[in-house]
């Protein structure tokens, strides 16, 4: 069965993060704090080709934070299925994100932990977060873009600001795990494709470097303040080294077939 607590733990782990004044020190929780709407969450999502319908760095980021948490907890492409979003979605906007849940029949008025909560202010759905706890007295959430950062908040069940709750399609994940645990015969009309990825060396640039950086960031290893920029520089070298060390791979700063396999597993 799916562990719905994973997204809750990811969200709780981000409490205290401060948005940045500029596109620098994005991975540091408190450095370069400001009101420029620059975050590591937008950087990482922007690095995923086709996630949104455009780059979202420097824009309001409460929904970007929620989508980042689901993506970090469950990976791609499953996260998009869980949160009911198509590729190149408008899901960085709260009203659009809520509408995607509604279109799939996944929008409710009673909360459960792991839900995406939506708020309506001034007659418009304009804020969101993740439900981390529900008790008899309150709904506990973690939200991005609150007072310039990520905060833990609470609301009475009777709060009129709450628009409703988008519930991820958890059963899709259950099915996926069942298929992994009990391998079945290949389906007809399918084709197995083998892709050979190049060896990446320090100083290389281009698409495959960006792919390597995106995979590293997705695994929780920083490539520096510029993120997945397609340039294998010093910060990316450090990130790859830390990944290789963590996975018991040869720490040679070279991304070869063994490293690609571990990154994309």
Q: What does the DSSP assignment read for 92-141?
A: TSHHHHHHHHHHTT-EESS--TTPEEEEEETTEEEEEEEEEEE-SS-EEE
Statement: residue 138 has pLDDT above 70: yes
Statement: residue 180 has pLDDT above 50: no
Q: What is the pTM of this model?
A: 0.67
Region 149-157 average pLDDT: 96
Residue whose tokens read 């609150």: 146
What is the side-by-side strand order in the sheet with 139-146? 107-108, 162-166, 116-121, 124-134, 139-146, 149-155
How far apart, in whole angstroms, are the C-alpha atoms of residue 144 and residue 256? 37
Region 215-228 average pLDDT: 84
pLDDT, greater one: 173 or 110: 110
Contacts of 174 (CB under 8 A, 6+ apart): 1, 2
* pLDDT confidence bin for 156, thresholds 50/70/90: very high
Structural domains in the chain plus CATH codes: 5-178 (3.90.1720), 207-264 (no CATH)
**What's residue 177's pLDDT?**
44
Summarised one tens digit per residue, pLDDT across range 181-195 is 434 444 445 455 556
How far apart, in whole angstroms, are the C-alpha atoms of residue 42 and residue 227? 10
How far apart, in whole angstroms, are the C-alpha atoms of residue 250 and residue 258? 9
Region 36-46 average pLDDT: 96
Q: Are strands 107-108 and 162-166 parallel, antiparallel or unpaired?
A: antiparallel
pLDDT, greater one: 32 or 214: 32
Of 87, 79, 96, the closest CA to residue 172 belongs to 79
Q: List for the chain the helix, strand, coil content (%; round to 5).
A: 35, 20, 50
């Amino acid at each position: 069965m799916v562990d719905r607590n994973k997204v809750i733990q990811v969200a709780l782990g981000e409490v205290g993060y401060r948005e940045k004044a500029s596109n620098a020190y994005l991975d540091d929780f408190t450095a370069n704090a400001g009101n420029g709407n620059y975050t590591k969450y937008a950087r990482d999502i922007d690095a995923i080709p086709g996630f949104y319908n455009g780059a979202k760095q420097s824009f309001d980021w409460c929904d970007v934070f929620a989508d980042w948490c689901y993506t970090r907890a469950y990976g791609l492409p499953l996260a998009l299925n869980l949160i009911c979003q198509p590729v190149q979605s408008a899901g960085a906007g709260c009203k659009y994100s809520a509408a995607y849940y509604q279109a799939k029949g996944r929008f409710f008025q009673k909360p459960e932990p792991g839900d995406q909560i939506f708020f309506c202010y001034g007659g418009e759905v304009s804020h969101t977060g993740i439900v981390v706890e529900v008790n008899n007295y309150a709904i506990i959430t973690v939200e991005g873009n609150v007072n310039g950062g990520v905060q833990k908040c609470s609301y009475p069940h009777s709060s009129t600001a709450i628009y409703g709750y988008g519930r991820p399609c958890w059963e899709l994940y259950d099915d996926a795990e069942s298929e992994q645990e009990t391998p079945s015969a290949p389906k007809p009309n399918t084709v197995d494709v083998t892709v050979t990825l190049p060896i990446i060396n320090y100083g290389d640039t281009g698409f495959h470097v960006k792919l390597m950086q995106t995979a590293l960031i997705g695994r929780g290893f920083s490539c520096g303040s510029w993120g997945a920029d397609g340039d294998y520089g010093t910060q990316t070298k450090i990130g790859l080294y830390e990944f290789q060390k963590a996975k018991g791979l040869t720490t040679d700063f070279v991304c070869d077939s063994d490293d690609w396999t571990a990154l994309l597993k």
